[in-house]
Structure 1
Amino acid sequence: MDRNPHGPSRRDVLRGALAAGAAVTLAGCGSQADAPHSVTVDQWRQFKGATLNFISENTAPTAAIAANTRPFTDLTGININIVTLELTALVQRVALDLASGHAQYQVIYADPYQVLAPYQRGLVDLRTMQADPNLPHLPGGVADFIPAQMDAAGRFVDPNAYYTLPYDAPTMIWQYRRDLFDKYHDRMANDLGFDPTPSGERTWDEYYRIAQWFNKNATSDVKYGTGHQARQHDSLMNDFSNVLWSYGGAYFDNGKEVGRIGSRDPGPCRLDSDAAIAGAEFYQKLLAIADPASTTWDWDGVGAAFRAGRLAMCPNWHEFAASNEQVMPGKAGYSPLPRGPVATANMYGGTGVAISDNTRPHERGAAWLFLVWATSPQTQLANLKSKAGGGTPTRTSVYELPEVRAAEKRPSPMPNMLTAAAVRQAWEPDKIGLRPKIPMWNECNTAIFTQLSRMLTGGSTPADAMRNIKARVDQIVARGWVA
């Protein structure tokens, strides 16, 4: 999921870093030979002279690594070529590569829904690498990764196997103009009858009323109280799902398990339930008072509008904090999303890095060295500090480092850490929002955001939209998936 914002922020920085720091012309593509291997007491140097190709979406950790691959090459003697693509193009390229029987890309950015679930059989079970006495082990082991992320990004169906290591962790939270909430706090509290300060204890109904208050009372400071990523796009499914789950709606039975571990046969879609329809009705009501441009925005669009001072608040991916702090330092605040009548949900969009099962034995070993290094605490800390992106750690131990803890307060040299208190709550098992991890999700997702878009533009009622989605998703699931 390409979550980089517009303007003088991460998209431009990432592009520059990738162009300057990464070789995008693959060396040795199509070669049938295995990687070189030598017997040495240094496990990190045994594949010296090898070349790896890493295919990734354009994300913050990849940009930071691409801007400075030298530490990995100095450590291992391995050259790493990094190719970045938009996610849809990446999925197509990976599918072709896995079907070819030969690994052009040894290391794969494996989106849980578009790569891991449909193509899990084409990825290496990384337990075999961690158990190999001839290879370096993960520092801190698998247990150092945040558990919900390890499951959501790394596992599929089998709760013991893991096919990726958590690599990035974008999560939707409540982003708001802290300066405006401070300025109008007392007036809002008096008019609304509750403390408007954003927190996970606020409700979606209160969020609606706060947005409405800004629309009516603060037009000299901000144009709209809220904005959303409600374009007919994956972003719309993400934005809506937070509300759906908070109302007790679910895409399938056992939704938490289907989201966390995954399923090849999730059963019938449950979007025709009363709870799901109630969530859709509220979402339609909320969007009716939001910035009208919301139906044209994905996450980039709403992020740019927030930074431009157009919105008092919005739900968006937490990693936009780096851009917020660059453009309007000190003015943004971050909180978990509001709760609904039944639950709290904060959509998780993280991804792991995997090894192609088409790799030859020494290639596989070299690829494991890259995975261990790229997800290590030292590299994640370096990524946090990088001017080429930032990213967010996926390891518990990194968040416990004193300098990382200190960065949670302004002025912060690691601006994404300003969201740490919010995302720590968002990643709790009962609060993390996990879309269904099923092989056919991409097609289901298209059905979902297409019908939601019709609902928002007056083409159907919430009840009809939910029933139409259910009917289409049931058809897709019944057809199954053959990879």
Structure 2
Amino acid sequence: MDDVQKMITRRKTLSLLAGAAAAGVLASYGLFSTQSQTPSQTRDIRAVLAGAGRVNPPDQYVEFMEWLAEVSKNIETGKEPAVALMAESAALAVQRIDGEFFLASGLASRLDVSPYPVHVSKTLSSLTVGASIYDAVAVESFDVNLFINYFTPVQDFMEKYREYTYEKFRLDDFLPESLNLVGVYPPKLDSGGEKGNVVMLPFSTPTMINFYRRDIYEKNGHEPPATWEEYLEDLKALNNPSEGFFATAQQVGSDVGIVTEFNNLVHSFGGRLFEVSDGKIIPVMDSDAVVEALKMYSSIRPYADPASISYDWDAVATAMRRGRIVQAILWQDYAWMMDDPVRSVVVNKVGYKPNPAGPAGSFHQFVGDGVGLVKNGKNPVAMWLWLQWATEVGTRIILMLDEKARVVPIRRSVLMDRNVQSTLENPKFSSVKVVKEILEMKQVASIPPLPRANQVFFIMGRYLRSGWSGADPRQTLREMKNEIESLDSLSY
């Protein structure tokens, strides 16, 4: 994302200023005493939030913050929970309102927000030396296997710190799609039975949907495509490379990008990349259905921006918001950028819909990331309070209603909120509504967490790029499967 590093740098600067200004700020809001520097509630929490600019907060948020202010009195000063997050829309949105956690608790959290590759590298480096600088770490579902041994199950925290666990906190309120894929390990690929230990709390729900230039379709009097065949026809009609204007762009330059983008088609054609049986992960990507999916994926190439060979999801989103392309299969997280006049030349011109359907229907790559509580973290109680706040129903209502985030809820209770339901009828939030309906209809495509995920994705990315470029799809997929099978057994 274009402004990530700028935001991180600004965050560090603000954190330095915050230490010097904290006493004055807290005194002006009237929440804590500046005499003893010990948190003490002196004003109504709603008034405190209003003083910080939070007007008409959800009742659920106020109730939680009142509880947070009360229980935080028992925590000694100087505790600063440190959490490492990936620089994606949910994390950036939480970062923007993190000061409200400080106002209620008196705990100055330290948020380290980095792009995905940097995040994985530095958090693993910290954890493997046995003296992590983090109390909690965000992890993509693909990478759970790399981090699982460094986390304490959430239920253990709930039991050990009962007095610091919000009475309305419920694990079963998290969306099952998120909890089963990223929260539980080994993952639960069905919705029945006991879930076992929850190793991470779901934090975001990245889901791929169809972005399209609504203004162009309306001008031509056409409906956006409902099937992959219609999608391909539209690409042919809309492609105009002589003007530097392309029908679409694809995430071919990124191993994870090309695999996840392709997986939308795999499921819609009735195939799977992997199956899980008795704890073993079995590659099955050489089926007839996956072959047909690769044929379709490759047929899109002539109408895609030629720079797609180097594109990841950020680059595709950039092409969309700069008006270079008409269509994209892209993570919903980027929807807010399309309407940001600072970043976009297509404000109010982009529409959102489910992905085109194949023979098996319309499916949508779903990843999800969670936050795990690090074993032997230095600030376990403070960290547990922060994580509850960041995933609390009221907080998530605020994040969903934030036009610069439009974060898809991770809690069922958020979707039941009347204000949320009303807001979802606003066209600005149509991307969230699309994902909500996808989840309700269970049109989700996912890839199970993979041992040695980086190695497996590298293999898959290399072969898919070959197939995308025109190599025989059946031979390409057979060789991909054989190379993955040559690795040591993939199992949980």
Give me the TM-score of the superposition, normalised by structure 2. 0.79
Residue equivalent to 2:263: 241
1:383 to 1:284, Cα distance in 2 relative to 1, 3 A:
same
Alignment partners' CA distance in 1, 2:130 and 2:99: 30
Residue equivalent to 2:47: none
Structure 1 residue 359, shift from structure 2 partner: 2.5
Alignment partners' CA distance in 2, 1:422 and 1:68: 26
**Cα deviation digits, residues 362-419 of structure 1 (max 9, x gap):** x3222211110111122223334557755332122223333333333447xxx4x321
Alignment partners' CA distance in 2, 1:237 and 1:335: 21
1:41 to 1:181, Cα distance in 2 relative to 1, 3 A:
closer
Residue equivalent to 2:99: 70
Q: Is the 8 A contact 1:139 1:376 kept in 2?
A: no
1:147 to 1:464, Cα distance in 2 relative to 1, 3 A:
same
- Given the alignment of the two structures, is residue 212 of structure 1 paired with residue 236 of structure 2, yes or no? yes
- Code of the aligned partner of 2:281: P
**Cα deviation digits, residues 32-76 of structure 1 (max 9, x gap):** xxxx9xxx9943333232122111111223223333433222322
Structure 1 residue 461, shift from structure 2 partner: 1.9
- Code of the aligned partner of 2:399: N
Identity of aligned residues (%): 21
1:400 to 1:339, Cα distance in 2 relative to 1, 3 A:
same
1:287 to 1:367, Cα distance in 2 relative to 1, 3 A:
same
**Cα deviation digits, residues 123-180 of structure 1 (max 9, x gap):** 1110122344322237351222211112112111273221111111221100111111
Match of 2:166, SS state, is coil
- Given the alignment of the two structures, is residue 435 of structure 1 paired with residue 450 of structure 2, yes or no? no
* Residue number among 140, 145, 149 corresponding to 2:174 in the alignment: 145
Residue equivalent to 2:373: 355
Structure 1 residue 271, shift from structure 2 partner: 1.2
Alignment partners' CA distance in 2, 1:248 and 1:20: 51
- Code of the aligned partner of 1:143: D
Residue equivalent to 1:97: 126
Match of 1:183, SS state, is helix
- Code of the aligned partner of 2:135: Q
Match of 1:102, SS state, is coil
- Given the alignment of the two structures, is residue 423 of structure 1 paired with residue 452 of structure 2, yes or no? no
* Residue number among 364, 368, 372 corresponding to 2:380 in the alignment: 364
- Code of the aligned partner of 1:314: A
Matches within 5 A, 1:48-197: 48-49=76-77, 50-114=79-143, 116-131=144-159, 132-137=161-166, 139-157=168-186, 159-185=195-221, 188=222, 196-197=223-224
Match of 1:134, SS state, is helix
Residue equivalent to 2:31: none
Residue equivalent to 2:73: 45
Alignment partners' CA distance in 2, 1:44 and 1:429: 41
Give me the TM-score of the superposition, normalised by structure 1. 0.81
Q: Is the 8 A contact 2:199 2:372 kept in 1?
A: yes
- Given the alignment of the two structures, is residue 471 of structure 1 paired with residue 487 of structure 2, yes or no? no
Q: Is the 8 A contact 1:226 1:311 kept in 2?
A: yes
Structure 1 residue 111, shift from structure 2 partner: 1.8
Q: Is the 8 A contact 2:83 2:137 kept in 1?
A: yes
- Given the alignment of the two structures, is residue 18 of structure 1 paired with residue 11 of structure 2, yes or no? yes
Match of 2:481, SS state, is helix
Alignment partners' CA distance in 2, 1:169 and 1:367: 22
Residue equivalent to 1:265: 280
Q: Is the 8 A contact 1:236 1:449 kept in 2?
A: yes
Structure 1 residue 264, shift from structure 2 partner: 5.4
Q: Is the 8 A contact 2:270 2:359 kept in 1?
A: yes
- Given the alignment of the two structures, is residue 448 of structure 1 paired with residue 454 of structure 2, yes or no? no
Q: Is the 8 A contact 1:57 1:85 kept in 2?
A: yes
Q: Is the 8 A contact 2:69 2:105 kept in 1?
A: no
Residue equivalent to 1:29: none
Match of 1:358, SS state, is coil
- Code of the aligned partner of 1:272: D
Alignment partners' CA distance in 2, 1:52 and 1:311: 42
Matches within 5 A, 1:269-280: 269-280=283-294
- Code of the aligned partner of 1:308: R
1:477 to 1:342, Cα distance in 2 relative to 1, 3 A:
farther
1:247 to 1:69, Cα distance in 2 relative to 1, 3 A:
same
- Relative contact order higher in (CA < 8 Å, ≥ 6 apart): 1
1:12 to 1:48, Cα distance in 2 relative to 1, 3 A:
same
1:386 to 1:431, Cα distance in 2 relative to 1, 3 A:
closer
- Code of the aligned partner of 1:465: T
Q: CA RMSD in A?
A: 3.1
Q: Which moved more, 1:62-71 or 1:122-131?
A: 62-71
Alignment partners' CA distance in 2, 1:56 and 1:283: 32
Gaps of at least 5 residues in structure 2 are 19-37, 39-67, 188-194
Structure 1 residue 15, shift from structure 2 partner: 4.3
Residue equivalent to 2:300: 286
Residue equivalent to 2:339: 325
Structure 1 residue 215, shift from structure 2 partner: 2.8
Alignment partners' CA distance in 1, 2:483 and 2:310: 24
Alignment partners' CA distance in 1, 2:323 and 2:152: 46
1:392 to 1:424, Cα distance in 2 relative to 1, 3 A:
closer
What is the aligned length? 433
Match of 2:263, SS state, is helix
Alignment partners' CA distance in 2, 1:98 and 1:11: 24
Residue equivalent to 2:227: 203
1:374 to 1:23, Cα distance in 2 relative to 1, 3 A:
farther
Structure 1 residue 318, shift from structure 2 partner: 0.8
